[in-house]
A and B are shown apart, each in its own frame.
Chain A
């Protein structure tokens, strides 16, 4: 399998605070990676660097063969290939769910409106909220909003999907419906990097687990090995606290 994301010695600072320390990571096509770790460990920062919502100051990030830096001219093109789902959904409240989904395909990919709507309905069907297409985000529950956000990202037909704690802002009974949609997506062969605390989801879906602490990757291992036989003491401590 071929590499689609590559991070080499990535460092990032927020003023004097170093958020990422020498991150090295390779992600293959169709690989699913789950990143976990305590809050403030740099998980979100790491995946936000991959589509440059955060800028890294040192090292290389290569996505689909193109390096991302301040000199990247077609950053928008790369971002269009990398879908992202946020903790706070970030749907556009002034647009209906359908328009949320069709906006970027129409304006960024120059897709004809009819095709974009067909694509949007297909993806809304996929996350099982096609019947809510005409509603506005404010009229939906948290779980429905997050699934709409997932559909919106999928409408750009991305090669990679990034999930930044997609279920952390949801009521417990809504978490499952979002995770189910993500499991479906994983089974369909999407390349996924997921920051989450849902270890059940991780065990079911992830190929590799990453544990981060204080801006460093403490441990990267196959999922089974990670849970059954963690090497670092820090990982053991973390797992014992959340499992």
Chain B
């Protein structure tokens, strides 16, 4: 079909703009009426075609106003950015119409029709989300089965952690390294002792009772802190000239990378105790932590190795020519550059790790997603799966987004190239 008669030139520019705008406007009216007022102005057409009429109107309208060098700044901007071809016009309309059609119901479910007041499932009457469920269970979602009276211990532990981390950003460079050393090597022990108790007059709380978001944080934080150095050592080992070290590293990495995490966790729960002498008992949280750490360390090793390989040979040679031995060369010259290169990869691994933590349910530990799982099976709260999982998903998203932003900032801060 020859549509050239439908192409404007300078003379009838205005009539084309008017005609196009009217068509686009009709498209919008059509979609808005059908989404919000359940009136279909094209109901006389067959069902499927009538569903698509907003798009058709809009497409034809956009086609009419696609006029090159019209002299109208706004129009030119629209044309170059949203309406440069039929396909782009289609995508533009599809996105806008989808938003109009699907965002409002979503918002309704989330906010406008949602229930916030009340304490039981029966208070949720309006048809939207039942956030009462999350409200009632929030304590459990955060602290797991940790006894209510002892929850201040978790609060204290995390508050101290955040204060210390915050402080490390603001204190002068001189003290910074002491805070970081304290955070990495001393604080984890203090924090764990505070939460587990048993000494200093604190009531012992067994790890089976730990849970919820606080357990997510504990597992993630320990695994993150530990898997990083282990992974780095493995990466160096894999590039070592000594065959014994090299093959051990390769073997370790390939073994752990080749096994699904869930299998590793099962093994740590079921098989591992069989190898221990009778009477010895390693707490299952510790076993899980070790399993996750070693698993993620294998991934970390390959990420770091990528960075090591990306460095030019000249860096190694310059370091050697200045009289540096293996460790000095790696810690002063090679690793600072290699790790900087692979920050995106490291962030990737860390995010994956955080999102893998729900798998610890296989050994009976319930972090955030696990607690949601438990709560939704409570007879009084059946049918709340959606609210629970949306909540857990949002929390995970926030955690991961913060980490992602932090890694991007770090990249910018460490950039020394022009």
Complex Cα distance A235/B93, Å? 76
Within 8 A of A (CB), among B329-383: 332-333, 336-337, 340
Number of cross-chain contacts by CB at 8 Å:
72
Q: Which residues of B contact A76 (CB under 8 A)?
A: 323-325
A107 and B317 contact, CB distance less than 8 A = no
B323 and A90 contact, CB distance less than 8 A = no
Q: Which residues of B contact A53 (CB under 8 A)?
A: 317, 320-321
Q: Which residues of A contact B417 (CB under 8 A)?
A: 93, 136, 138
Contact string against B for A residues 214-229, beta-carbon threshold 8 Å, 1 for contact and 0 otherwise:
0000000000000000
A91 and B416 contact, CB distance less than 8 A = no
Give chain B nearest CB distance to A175 CB in angstroms.
Answer: 20
Q: Which residues of B contact A108 (CB under 8 A)?
A: 322-324, 328
Q: Which residues of B contact A92 (CB under 8 A)?
A: 315, 318-319, 333, 337
**Residue of B at shortest CB range from A162?**
B321
Interface of B is mostly: helix
A93 and B321 contact, CB distance less than 8 A = no
Give chain B nearest CB distance to A182 CB in angstroms.
Answer: 17
Within 8 Å of chain A (Cβ to Cβ): is B418?
yes
Within 8 Å of chain B (Cβ to Cβ): is A152?
yes
Give chain A nearest CB distance to B327 CB in angstroms.
Answer: 10
Q: Name which of A7-15, A81-89, A118-126, A185-193 contacts chain B.
A: A81-89
Within 8 Å of chain A (Cβ to Cβ): is B260?
no
How many residues of A are in contact with the other chain, CB < 8 A? 29
Interface of A is mostly: mixed
Within 8 Å of chain B (Cβ to Cβ): is A194?
no
Complex Cα distance A93/B310, Å? 14
A138 and B416 contact, CB distance less than 8 A = yes
Within 8 Å of chain B (Cβ to Cβ): is A114?
no
A104-B323 contact given A93-B337, A94-B336, CB 8 Å threshold: yes
Contact string against A for B residues 375-418, beta-carbon threshold 8 Å, 1 for contact and 0 otherwise:
00000000000000000000000000000000000000010111
Q: Which residues of A contact B325 (CB under 8 A)?
A: 76
B332 and A107 contact, CB distance less than 8 A = yes
B418 and A79 contact, CB distance less than 8 A = no
Within 8 Å of chain A (Cβ to Cβ): is B277?
no
Complex Cα distance A104/B322, Å? 6
A83 and B321 contact, CB distance less than 8 A = yes
Within 8 Å of chain B (Cβ to Cβ): is A57?
no
B314 and A104 contact, CB distance less than 8 A = no
**Residue of B at shortest CB range from A104?**
B322
Within 8 A of A (CB), among B300-327: 312, 314-315, 317-325
Q: Which residues of B contact A153 (CB under 8 A)?
A: 321-322
Give chain A nearest CB distance to B332 CB in angstroms.
Answer: 6
A94 and B322 contact, CB distance less than 8 A = no
B337 and A79 contact, CB distance less than 8 A = no
**Residue of A at shortest CB range from B414?**
A94
A136-B321 contact given A86-B314, A92-B333, CB 8 Å threshold: no
**Residue of A at shortest CB range from B318?**
A90
A91 and B318 contact, CB distance less than 8 A = yes
B332 and A103 contact, CB distance less than 8 A = yes
Complex Cα distance A4/B2, Å? 89
Q: Which residues of A contact B323 (CB under 8 A)?
A: 76-77, 79-81, 104, 108-109, 156
Complex Cα distance A91/B318, Å? 7
B321 and A82 contact, CB distance less than 8 A = yes
From A138, A139, A152, B322 is in contact (CB under 8 Å) with A152
Q: Which residues of B contact A84 (CB under 8 A)?
A: 317-318, 321
A79 and B321 contact, CB distance less than 8 A = yes
Q: Which residues of A contact B319 (CB under 8 A)?
A: 92
B416 and A51 contact, CB distance less than 8 A = no
Give chain B nearest CB distance to A72 CB in angstroms.
Answer: 13
Q: Which residues of B contact A83 (CB under 8 A)?
A: 321
Give chain A nearest CB distance to B336 CB in angstroms.
Answer: 5
A79-B416 contact given A90-B317, A92-B315, A94-B340, CB 8 Å threshold: no
Q: Please give 9 more A-B residue pairs, beta carbons under 8 A apart, in addition to A84-B317, A92-B315, A94-B414.
A: A53-B320, A76-B323, A81-B323, A82-B321, A92-B318, A94-B416, A109-B323, A136-B417, A152-B322
B residues sitting closer than 8 Å to A (CB atoms) are 312, 314-315, 317-325, 328, 332-333, 336-337, 340, 414, 416-418
17 of the cross-chain contacts (CB-CB < 8 Å) are: A53-B321, A76-B324, A83-B321, A88-B312, A88-B314, A90-B312, A92-B333, A93-B337, A94-B337, A94-B340, A104-B324, A108-B322, A108-B324, A109-B323, A136-B416, A153-B321, A156-B323
